[in-house]
Amino acid sequence: MKILRGLVLAVVWLGMGTPVWSAATVPLPIATVHPPETESIYLAQQKGVIRDTAERDQKKAEENLWDDEEDLWEDEEEELTIADPLYYFNKSIWHFNDVVFLYIGEPAAKGYNKIFPETIRTGVTNFFSNWYTPVRLVSCLLQAKWEEAGTETGRFFINTSFGILGFADLAKEEEWTGWDVADEDVGQVFGAWGIGHGFYLVLPLVGPSSARDGVGRIGNGFLDPLTYLDIKFWEYAAIWSYREFANYAPYAVEYRKFRDMSLDPYTAMRDAYIQLRARQVRE
């Protein structure tokens, strides 16, 4: 345990920071989500929407959209709703997150990306992703996704051993197995079980969430090995913050683009979050 603790704390010294997201709207007790015509920028949740959208946009550019025309029309016809009874509370938290991001998060991310080579930054995110395997693995099992569960198990053993504790994501390489991360969490488990979002919720220094996904975050915490390290609270907070920041930093510039493109960033972010989570549950 002392060795593991030392490794984690060593990683933390590489940088510090916390991702934040947020943004503005007219009060709506029920928000109707209309999927955007283009999926240019999605911002939301801890490890998700910025990176998710960047990867999906790149994939779209490489595909023949004419072959997927029917699927695209089906997606455009889908509408989702979520209650927002805490609108004024959520909006105030959004403004707080927005200020922190613009004046702390974005400059810190730019400095982090400039100072540390990409090899180091990628190794750090790979390390934390490998550490997070129990959350994804249990979430796969609870949804009876046996293939994904097997993939996560295989990835963990390959990357922990041959990938030097996960700093190298060898399992993703085609020369090894070509296995991608199964992006699953407890919130998705609840969704797969038929539990609705409940109401929309914006969390400080975390961003968009919901009643369902908020409880899911608690479940993620019980499965996260970081919770069980014999460390002080401030050390836990530092490691957690850096983990989230490291995942977010490569996509920091996307937030400002999101704000500039959105007439109503608060509503746009809320809609994007619900749309993303619905797709993740379906998949």
Q: How much is the pLDDT for 54? A: 53
Question: Which structural domain range is residue 148 located in?
Answer: 2-10+42-77+94-282
> What is the mean pLDDT for each group of 10 consecutive residues in the chain (283 residues)?
48 42 40 42 45 56 46 51 94 94 92 94 96 97 96 97 95 93 96 95 94 96 94 94 92 86 91 93 89
The reply to whether 109 falls in a domain is: yes
Q: How much is the pLDDT for 4? A: 45
The reply to whether 15 falls in a domain is: no
Q: How much is the pLDDT for 56? A: 58
The reply to whether 164 falls in a domain is: yes
Comparing C-alpha atoms, which of 16, 51, 21, 48 is closest to residue 242?
A: 16
Count of domains for the chain: 1
The reply to whether 86 falls in a domain is: no
The reply to whether 30 falls in a domain is: no
Q: How much is the pLDDT for 261? A: 87
The reply to whether 170 falls in a domain is: yes
The reply to whether 20 falls in a domain is: no
The reply to whether 83 falls in a domain is: no
Q: How much is the pLDDT for 59? A: 58
